[in-house]
Amino acid sequence: MSSAESVRTELRLRCPELAAAIFDDLAPDLIGTPRPRTSSRDINDPIWKLFTLSPAQASIVDLPLMQRLRRVRQLGLAHLVYPGAQHSRLEHSIGTMRAAGVMFARLSRGTRLNQREKEDVEELISVAALLHDCGHTAFSHLGERVLGDVYGPEFRAAQAVLQAHLQDPISLSSSATATGRLRPKPVPAAEIISVLFVLSPSMEALIGQLGLRLSADRACLSIADMIMGRPSDICDKGAEYHHYIKAIISGDIDCDKIDYVARDAYYAGLPISADVDRLLSQLATAKLTRDNCPSDLKVQFGAPSPDMYYLLGIRPAGASALEMFVMTRSYLFERIYTHHKVRAAERAMERLLRQFLQYQKGVRRRSLAWCLRFLVERGGDDAVLDRLSRWDEGDADADENFRRRADRILDRDLPQRALALSLRTLADFQRDVGRLASATFNTWSLAFEDIAQNTLDIEDGIDGLLDPRGDGGIYLDWVASNPVKENPDIWVHDPSSPGTLLRVNRYFDVEQLSNAYRDVKLTGWIFCDRERKADVAAAAAYVLHERYDLLPGPEAFRRAKVPENDHAAALRVLRTRIDDRAKSLVDNLLGTSGPRAIKPPPGAWLSALAALDEAERLPAAGKLSDKVAACGFPRNFYDDFQFALVVLEFLVRHQVTFNRHAIFAHSIPYGNEKRFQGHLRDFLSGDKDFSLICTVEEHTSASGGSVDLVVRSKDRNRRPVIVELKSEKSGHEKQYESHAGQPLQYAEAGYGRVTILYCQYASEASVRPADTLDVRKNDADSPQLAICLGQRAFASVPSAGGATTVPPGAV
Amino acid sequence: MIDFRRLERESYGVPAGGSSERVRLTPELLGQLISCVLQLEGDAAGAITSSVFQDIFLSPAAAVPESIADVLHVEDRLGGATVEEVTRMAVASQASGVAGRMNPDNVSMIPKTDRLQAHSLLSHYAVRFPSEVNWLREMVRQRSGVLAGL
């Protein structure tokens, strides 16, 4: 079993900077010489009303480490939107301790723990709850996120050490061992810092003087265990396992959530609040034995595993209080945590902190200890902002940058919305069916992950379009994911069948609750300075159109409160500054050049060209993309275009695989083409992937002597793609000129408007497969697109003495 | 002149002078890929659930490729081991338009692609992640085979 000292030793070895910063620098300063209190103290709290801190609890609250949390706001910058949301991490920590105490008292009633055991556990739980946020830096989660990124290797090393030493001694699930290849869930930086403070020599000395029943060493480890959410040594009582203790510390309705949901709603002044008193009064342990274990639980019984588990349960009468709690939490996400103005403020603050900390680390060569001290300084959020607003280290460039950014946050001069980006704000979204027009589906799906991962590039693209010296005043805040867990481990005794356990979600539809907030949660925003909202909206729309062929619709601007006339005017100004190709994109956004057209970006071609070498693929995709964009086909072309790209993917495979495998051996009319047709048909039919989605057949009704294949999708409502085949002893370009117009004959026959012309050609020059790719627009009443590709064949059978040999099966 | 944008990039772990241009494998991307694989390899209606996501990664037979294991984490719950990122995967596959309906821990999502679109998306990402896409397809095929045999 580990000791606190052995954990410290390994931490010093694996993450020396972080360990030294906390153990040797911050902890001695913020914990200092122990001065335990001998008297209790009453606390009056708006959520928990009047209650008493024990001397041990009061001693911890008195620490500078905890007192500084008075000045770290629980909700970061949300107070810029909700002026009342000024409550601190200290209030929350004390409230969490109180919630843990109430929950434990309520739940332990139904167990066989004796009074002494209850007091031991409660003592530890309360100290752990008090200290769980002691490592929070200024600006709470925002600060920890930046610190964790800038010093990623140190935090990852610390996490690995803690997870190795603070493991669950028993595994509750039989399948857990099978998952050894996946790592345990990541620990946020603030939690790691909290645990390191708990394990510091200074904290061990203090704990040793608080009069706890456990030794200081064991108490520190147990508290660290609990903060990490794995308090198994105090849960494990031999034949009985008190799982509810783990649930109180880290679970679906743990003491942390119980406090912050009630507290955040209260201080933000929202007219909704979870009925915490009712919820807690209805908590009751549920006894899980081999006899009543639901089939979906993977819990082991019998030595060495326990015979019975006490689970966090709730009486049926408490289900509505729990429902209200979940609803309040969802509501808080919409109204506070993901409020657009809060997100804008956080993005501005995050950029300032990232630039500041990276500057200190990379340019000033300052240590992790320096950065950590800067963020955990006693003055909290406001002191950090104040210091930044007065920053003066003799580097005028940096000083001015930090001061300007900090001043703007202090003055609440926050970035404004310029564009709302979601599935529902695109021009191609069909409100009546609640989805994108099928034709443009792939544009959004492919853009979604690319935008998420390349926000900095997109910000730079927008900024650079407006001002080549861009100062970084553009913020792209992408879709926030939904953290509400919908299948909580909370149990209800079935009143109609005593002893039977049901999951609480039998009592209310959590899915429906979350649906109510769907739109807000899934909106990404572009933010910018107030003065250039319309300009940024226009530039952002342009960049998204150019990169992904996304067309932000009126809803994207309306939600951002950018008048349509303003952004249209800004687009027209933008048009005057860009080249002709770019002008066509702006025209498309404005809709001034007729129906809006497809502008598939190079990325749209990548799957179709997958068989090509990477060096050939990207230039070919760029060339084809530009050519199709110039054709001006309407948006509903995408359906036919995307199907044709899927077919092209298999044809390019064939092209690359059999390039220079054919010889123009037949002298009878269309003999070569018939052979080509048969070979290609067999190739496609034999491909498992192709057969999964398509069928291929010879086009028996083709006229004019052409030899074609018809590819049909196995899905509904897709028009077949015609593959026009040619095999002539001429160059591929000449064949394109002669035959690309041939598919016009199918225009009225229910076939897709995008066809493929696939030629076997002869050439003395060495032509790479990618260089044969081209597109031709067939102008007619109903315009068509022909995608062309060529496969090089031998003009004649090479002589036996020639350098070239005929590949097997070529004829 | 200090390049503050470069400092900001470096703070995310993007190397100096490097580009973040290429898409990385993330739980969100995995969510989209699985939804597409389910649509392509079988009848996805009623089959796209979070528990299917779990099965794919936690099945005893699954030799999860390292690149996938690197972005996933496991949590021990009463119902067994749980992939921590499952909710993120589900939400991403919905937000990207691949599937519909929110938070489907215990209900199925609605596939929003047809098989051609699913194939198209998978082919696109297979250019960058060929072995990962193949592995997912193989796992779904195996799973379908097991279910068909029941």
Give the separation between CA A662 and CA B121, rounded to whole angstroms: 32
**Angle between helix A533-548 and A580-590 (nearest 10):** 110
Average pLDDT in the A371-397 region?
95
Query: pLDDT tens-digit profile of A476-497?
Result: 998 766 555 556 778 887 767 7
* Best of A301, A309, A444, A445 to mutate (most B CBs within 10 Å, chain B): A445
Q: Determine the straight-line distance between the first and last CA of chain B, rounded to whole angstroms.
A: 68
Share of chain B above pLDDT 70, in %: 79
Q: Which residues lie below 8 Å from residue A35, measured CB to CB, with a gap of 6+? A: A59, A62
The distance of B139 to chain A (nearest Cα, Å) reads 16
Residue A200: pLDDT band by 50, 70, 90 thresholds?
very high
A349 within 8 A of A77, measured Cβ to Cβ: yes
Please report, as a single letter, which amino acid is at residue B48: I
Residue A94 has pLDDT above 70, yes or no: yes
Q: Taking residues A61-87, what's their average pLDDT?
A: 96
Q: In chain A, which residue's Cα lies nearest the Cα of B104?
A: A511
SS3 A320: helix
Whether A70 has a pLDDT exceeding 80, the answer reads yes
The 8 Å CB, 24+ separation contacts for A57-60 are A57/A97, A57/A126, A57/A127, A57/A130, A59/A34, A59/A35, A59/A206, A59/A210, A60/A127, A60/A130, A60/A131, A60/A206, A60/A210
User: Minimal Cα–Cα distance from B48 to chain A, Å?
Assistant: 15
CA dihedral B57, B62, B67, B71 (to 10 degrees): 20
pLDDT band at A574 (very low <50, low <70, confident <90, very high): very high
Q: Which residue of A has its CA nearest to B27?
A: A449
Residue B113 vs residue B133, higher pLDDT: B133
Average pLDDT value for residue range A302-326? 88
pLDDT of A105 strictly over 70:
yes
**pLDDT level of residue A521 (50, 70, 90 thresholds):** low
Do the beta carbons of residue A713 and residue A698 sit within 8 Å? no
Q: Write out the two tokens for A426.
A: 């695109």
Per mean pLDDT, which of A61-75, A721-735, A737-751, B95-109 is the most reliable? A61-75
Question: Which chain A residues are Cβ-neighbours of B103 within 8 angstroms?
Answer: 482, 484, 486, 510-511, 514-515
Nearest to B77 among A449, A489, A603 (CB): A489
Phi and psi (nearest 5°) for A439?
-60, -35
Please give the average per-residue pLDDT across A147-157, as a whole number: 96
B15 touches chain A (CB under 8 A): no
Q: Which pLDDT score is estimated for A177?
A: 45
* CA distance linking residue A50 with residue A29, whole number of Å: 31
Range scoring the smallest mean pLDDT among A262-266, A589-593, A606-610, B136-140: A589-593
Q: How confident is the model at residue A179 (pLDDT cuts 50, 70, 90)?
A: low
Give the length of chain A.
Answer: 811
Q: Quickly count: other Cβ atoms within 10 Å of residue A175's Cβ.
A: 18
At residue A703 the predicted structure's pLDDT band, cuts being 50, 70 and 90, is: low
Q: Check CB contact under 8 Å for B2 and A693.
A: no
Q: Does the beta-carbon distance from A445 to B107 stay under 8 Å?
A: no
pLDDT band at A685 (very low <50, low <70, confident <90, very high): very high
pLDDT at position A564, please?
A: 87
pLDDT at B52 over 70: yes
pLDDT confidence of B150, banded at 50, 70, 90? low
What is the chain B residue with the closest CA to A522? B95
Task: Give A411-415's long-range contacts (Cβ < 8 A, gap of 24+).
Answer: A412/A80, A414/A80, A414/A341, A414/A344, A414/A345, A414/A348, A415/A344, A415/A345, A415/A347, A415/A348, A415/A473, A415/A475, A415/A527, A415/A528, A415/A529
pLDDT surpasses 50 at A811: no
> What pLDDT does residue A635 have?
87
Q: Of A307-316, A442-451, A454-463, A656-665, which range is least confident? A: A656-665
pLDDT surpassing 80 at residue A232: no
Average pLDDT over residues A566-580: 90
pLDDT of amino acid A671: 79
Nearest CA in chain B to A490: B78
Q: What was the pLDDT predicted at A800?
A: 46
pLDDT at A520 over 70: no
Cα separation, A98 vs A91, whole angstroms:
11
Distance from CA of A348 to the nearest CA of B (A): 12
End-to-end CA distance of chain A: 74
- B123 interfaces chain A, CB cutoff of 8 Å: yes
Mean pLDDT calculated for residue range A515-519:
53
Q: Cα separations (Å) of A189 from A7, A161, A259, A575?
A: 18, 14, 21, 46
What mean pLDDT, rounded, does chain A reach? Answer: 87
On chain B, the residues whose CB falls within 8 A of the CB of A175 are: 58, 60, 80-81
B18-45 per-residue burial string, b: 16 or more CB within 10 A, e: under 16: eebeebebbbbbbbbbbbbbbbbbbebe
Closest-CA distance, A516 to chain B, in angstroms, reads: 10
pLDDT reading at A258 higher than 70:
yes
Do the strands A236-237 and A240-242 form a parallel or antiparallel pair, or are they unpaired?
antiparallel
For residue A603, the one-letter residue type is G
User: Angle at the Cα of A670 (from A669 to A674), degrees rounded to 5?
Assistant: 145
Asked if the model's pLDDT at residue B16 lies above 60, the reply is no
Residue A468 pLDDT > 50, yes or no? Answer: yes
Is the pLDDT at A801 greater than 50, yes or no?
Answer: no
Would you state the torsion angle of the CA atoms of residues A412, A418, A424, A429, taken in this order, to the nearest 10 degrees? 180
Instruction: Indicate yes or no: CB of B97 within 8 angstroms of CB of A472.
Output: no
d(CA B35, CA A529): 39
Query: SS3 of A155, please?
Result: helix
Per-residue pLDDT tens over the stretch A590-619: 887 778 888 999 989 999 999 999 899 999
B47: distance to nearest CA of chain A, Å? Answer: 17
* A510: pLDDT strictly greater than 80: no
For residue A364, pLDDT beyond 60? yes
What is the value of ipTM here, to two decimals?
A: 0.90
Residue A455 is predicted with a pLDDT of: 92
Q: What is the pLDDT of residue B135?
A: 93
The minimal CB distance from B74 to the residues A184, A355, A453 is found for A184
* SS3 per-residue string spanning chain B: CCCHHHHHHHHCCCCCCCCCCCCCCCHHHHHHHHHHHHHHHCCCCCCCCHHHHHHHHHCCCCCCCHHHHCCCEEEEECCEEEECCHHHHHHHHHHCCCEECCCCCCCCCEECCCHHHHHHHHHHHHHHCHHHHHHHHHHHHHHHHHHHHC
Chain B nearest-CA distance from A452, in A, is 9
Of residues A320 and A395, which shows the higher confidence score?
A395
Contact: A401, B64; criterion CB under 8 Å: no
Pairwise CB contact (< 8 Å): B106 & A487 = yes
Q: Coil, strand, or helix at residue A739? A: helix
Please give the structure tokens belonging to residue A123: 């003592």
Query: Which one is predicted more confidently, A93 or A334?
Result: A93
Say if the Cβ atoms of B119 and A646 lie within 8 Å.
Answer: yes
According to DSSP, residue A23 is labeled I
* Measured distance CA(A210)–CA(A522) in Å, rounded: 48
B145: closest CA of chain A, how far (Å): 16
Which pLDDT does position A351 carry in this prediction?
96
Cβ under 8 Å to A: B residues 70-99: 72-81, 83-84, 87-88, 91-92, 94-98
- How close A434 gets to chain B, by Cα (Å)? 10
> A687-708 in b/e burial notation, b at 16+ Cβ within 10 A?
eebbeebbebeebeebeeebbb
- Residue A251 is given by DSSP the state S
Option in B96, B102, B119 nearest A444 (CB):
B96
Query: What does the pLDDT average to over A434-448?
Result: 76
pLDDT of residue A804: 47
**Which positions in chain B touch A515 (Cβ < 8 Å)?**
101-103
The pLDDT, as a whole number, for residue A481 is 62
pLDDT, residue B101, reads 63
B92 or A520, higher pLDDT: B92
The two structure tokens encoding residue A23: 């153990």
Predicted pLDDT at B104 = 45
**Contacts for A295 with CB less than 8 Å, ≥ 6 apart:** none
pLDDT in tens, A406-438: 999 999 999 999 999 988 898 888 777 766 776
CB contact under 8 Å between B23 and A453, yes or no, is: yes
Cβ–Cβ gap A453/B96 under 8 Å: no
| pTM, 2 dp | 0.90
CB-based contact A423 B91, cutoff 8 Å: no
Please state the rounded mean pLDDT for residues A562-591: 89
- Does A33 or A666 have the greater pLDDT score? A33
Tokens of A643: 């199907």
Does B116 contact A643 at a Cβ distance shorter than 8 Å?
A: yes
